[in-house]
Chain A
Amino acid sequence: MSEPTGVIHDIGYQRYTGPRLGRGHVFGALYLHGVRTAFGLGRSAKAKIFPWLVVGVLTVVAAGATAVRAQFGQVVMTYAQFADAMAWLVIFFVAVAAPELVSRDLRSGVLPLYFSRPLPRGDYALAKLAALVTALWLLLGGPQLLMFLGAAFSTGDGMRGVWNELLDLLPGLLYAGLWAVVFASIGLLVASLTGKRAFAAGGIVAVFLMTTPIVGTLSIMPSATVNQLAFLASPSTLVGAVGSWALGDLLVPEGQRGGTMPIGGFGPLYAVAAAVLVAGCVTLLLLRYRKVAAR
């Protein structure tokens, strides 16, 4: 530190007469802060490790698929298949990011500092939810964009090839959005129930993993209807089933092994179920913060 060269004058307290921004700006500030938090930005180096590890893995997979396609002309996975294949990593990302977004605030007791400000209590929960949805969508959409760029530059059909590729990418991004909304709303609801981050992470993984065996059991029951409805039992298969119905062969190209999920004619029901699930989670989340704010 340099030697003081002059007298420091205490200019005293200054009142603030400038603008005070409205609800939209405050929501935006909290939202951006949330997106940054999900990726560990503005946090310690330790908080950055896991999010960026997941980002790294996804990017490497996307880059690999792009390279194989450019080299051998074989499509390893479609955009939507990429989202499906990476679902497990997304679950782990949610299990780390959601507690980071809400459980930490519950634990440190910082919520009274938020709720004593003009921020409506519902806005806090919705800004955090929007932030997590955005983070998940970027996580899945970013590598898809990379795959698109790779394919667009190596296409042999000129602008027409790029256009066709774009028509494949857009549904893929929409599908990634569906993953993001469903996973974020469930993950954030679970995380908002506890201030302990480890419990929250365990709870989130449990919700996604423990429901999978139920799907397995239901799909071998001796009833075609039960089999076709089995995928309702777990969030990840629910999203997959909606994708199968809405995207059809964009998700799984014809002739590929496995084919689309055997959901019969229940596609619209799956879509409604997904919407109800998200709406239910958001409602419960808002109710939860109603209670928290009054404490």
Chain B
Amino acid sequence: MTLIATESLTKTYAGRVTALNDLTVAVEPGIVGLVGANGAGKSTLIKILLGLLAPTGGRVSVLGLDPTTDPAAVRARVGYMPEHDALPPDLSAAELVTHLGRISGLPRTVARERASEALRHVGLHEERHRAVGGYSTGMKQRVKLAQALVHDPDLLLLDEPTNGLDPAGRDAMLALIHRIGTEFGISVVVCSHLLGEVERICDTLVAIDGGRLLRADRISAMTTTTDVLAVEVSEGTDELAGRLAALDLPVTRDGRTLLVPLADEGTYDLILGAVAELDLPLHRLDQRRHRVAELFAAREPSHV
């Protein structure tokens, strides 16, 4: 079954701003990365999928249902995690998720049980009875994910789930999303403006730009064998780049991250040695597929 299908989907606001332009795409169940720069139309697409916005033209189906004519049926089977702050500070996570479970149609006791289960799955245990206002950003993101899971949806729509998280928090969130997509049997659409992040966990990648489809494909069809190592240090990124270049490593920069092609196991040692010599605080060092970024690189720089 097709997870999401759109056909010539168009949305213009007040007849002037075009958010989606003739978008035709079909994706299969699994973990889907929806990437695009800010303003590319990701949030508009999500709102149309949820039936909160009516498209100006074209057709759309989610889990085989039409959100423009039967939004309640779609929303009953979809969980949504919004990008922005969405939690009342004086409620506890357990109370909030239970309440929202009931709004999704769960009976009272079931809602309570599933709320604590969902919170356990996202890694919140005893702290779930404390007021959300005192939570860290990472914990708040987990609560937002738990409320999207509480009613056991068939599809999760996650809008920028790693927003505001530190590198360790981002990795944990991505690992959690990967686990939901593979072990829980729930399809996931992850929206992000960071390609490097979603490509690590997705089966399928959909890239949009200016409301148009750039490319949609299985990630296996896009990647190649060349992997890269992503290195992040809290400070002294320039020094490290210089040192690595001096070691004859073809290093490139991507924001705060340095990318080094992985030749063999020795590459790890060279990088770690350089970091240790310069006495820099290493934030992360991990392996990343390389080609996908390049596929979109030609179109992306104009938006960053």
B147 CB–A CB distance under 8 Å: yes
Give complex CA distance A110, B99 in Å: 12
Q: A108-B89, A112-B82 are in contact. Are A13 and B184 (CB under 8 A)?
A: yes
Smallest CB separation, A221 vs chain B (Å)? 46
Partner of B107, one of A19, A47, A113: A19
A4 CB–B CB distance under 8 Å: no
Give complex CA distance A42, B98 in Å: 13
Question: What are the residues of chain A within 8 A of B245 when measuring CB–CB?
Answer: none
Assess whether B110 is in contact with A108, with CB atoms less than 8 Å apart. no
Smallest CB separation, A191 vs chain B (Å)? 15
Assess whether B100 is in contact with A117, with CB atoms less than 8 Å apart. yes
A85 CB–B CB distance under 8 Å: no
Q: Which residues A1-55 have CB closer than 8 A to chain B?
A: 12-16, 18-23, 25-26, 29-30, 33, 42-44, 47
- Known contacts A118-B72, A118-B76; can you find 7 more A-B pairs with CB under 8 A? A19-B107, A23-B72, A109-B82, A109-B84, A113-B147, A117-B151, A118-B105
Assess whether B52 is in contact with A114, with CB atoms less than 8 Å apart. no
Q: Report how many residues on chain B are interfacial, defined by Cβ distance under 8 Å.
A: 40
Give complex CA distance A109, B84 in Å: 8
Question: What are the residues of chain A within 8 A of B147 when measuring CB–CB?
Answer: 113
Give complex CA distance A250, B102 in Å: 44
Residue of A nearest to B99 (CB): A33
Assess whether A29 is in contact with B102, with CB atoms less than 8 Å apart. yes
Give complex CA distance A78, B150 in Å: 51
Q: A16-B152, A110-B87, A294-B53 are in contact. Are A21 and B105 (CB under 8 A)?
A: yes
Assess whether A117 is in contact with B75, with CB atoms less than 8 Å apart. yes
B88 CB–A CB distance under 8 Å: yes
Q: Residues of B at under 8 Å CB distance from A?
A: 47, 50, 52-53, 72-73, 75-76, 78-80, 82, 84-90, 95, 99-100, 102-108, 110, 114, 117, 121, 147, 151-152, 180, 183-185
Question: What are the residues of chain A within 8 A of B82 when measuring CB–CB?
Answer: 109, 112-113, 116
Assess whether B85 is in contact with A108, with CB atoms less than 8 Å apart. yes
Partner of A116, one of B50, B73, B110, B184: B50
Question: What are the residues of chain B within 8 A of A20 when measuring CB–CB?
Answer: 76, 104-106, 151
Q: A108-B89, A113-B86 are in contact. Are A15 and B183 (CB under 8 A)?
A: no
Q: Pick 5 A–B contacts, CB within 8 A, sort by A.
A: A29-B99, A29-B102, A110-B86, A113-B86, A118-B75
Assess whether A26 is in contact with B103, with CB atoms less than 8 Å apart. yes
A288 CB–B CB distance under 8 Å: no
Assess whether B105 is in contact with A25, with CB atoms less than 8 Å apart. yes
Give complex CA distance A161, B256 in Å: 85
Question: What are the residues of chain A within 8 A of B121 when measuring CB–CB?
Answer: 13
